[in-house]
Structure 1
Amino acid sequence: MIKSIKYSNLSPADADELQQCIHAAFGHVPFVQNHTWAQPDWTFIKYENGRVATFYNVVLRDVSIDGKKYKVAGVNNVITPEEFRGRGFASEILRATEQYLFNDLGCKYGLLLCADALLPFYTRLGWYKVHPTLYYDQPTGRQLYDSNVMLLSSEEQPFIKPESIDLNGLPW
């Protein structure tokens, strides 16, 4: 079963469980430790036998792409707890919720920031790598992101190869 939940409506127990998963997956990464991150707007969770088998978060934001604003689904923390890995659950949840992002949430694009090792995974799901200059905010000021940026286009939106993206806020 896959559920979409407003992040602010997560039960304290679910929020704590997801935070523990996030910390286990990314808590050791210096880039993650040294930055302030946006709070998600939505969480998508796949349950298996009543337990969280995989999940991801979405930050909804008007992002500037080559000077034009688009409502974007900022995808982050796609995590499958170790005991559920290798069963295709992350692919399943991303495919199953893709149209929700575009149709129900009204986003024009999906946007994620990811490590090199994850490029093939997201590419198989229809995401494509772009090479823009990408800016995001931090309490210390505006920052330049220097790693992988991927987009997912809705059926109504063309594939684009932006030169510049401004997240207009904290990264996700």
Structure 2
Amino acid sequence: MERRKLIGIGIGVGAGLAVLPAWWTLRQVVNGAKGDWHTDTTPLERAFPLLGPLTDAKWVSSRDNDRAIPAPELVISGFARLTPGKLAELTVAHAFVSEGPVGDFTSWFEKPLTGEGPENPQWIRSHELDRDGSGYSTKLWFDRRSDTVRFWALNPYG
């Protein structure tokens, strides 16, 4: 009788382990469908103080998701909406050029942002506003039509 119980428990555990990956995959699909990004603007306002208060955001981090090995460096990437008039203020104070991002989102953690962002953007960029050095780097692209900023930042908090 003991042997039958052990075999039954083994089959039950084995079936449970077989269902676990299917459950996890289904959970990822469901969560991905509703958007697997952050919407809190406070961390972005800390990372990019020159942008001032932000009204809306969709962003991801290299430390997001369930990964066995955490990312050693923090990268944040996404979109944020500036307050009305902020982009005009920035373009008066800094030199801008017409320049868009080189590609779409390519890192594993950026996949939820694919297809997001403004429609038919007219990107401009100020290299003065990008930071580089001391272990951090930031790239900011601004859409003239929607007051949206697309950002990518390595170690944005220094």
Considering fraction of residues, name the structure with more helix: 2
State the TM-score, normalizing by the size of structure 2.
0.30
Considering fraction of residues, name the structure with more strand: 1
State the TM-score, normalizing by the size of structure 1.
0.28
Higher Cα Rg, which structure: 2
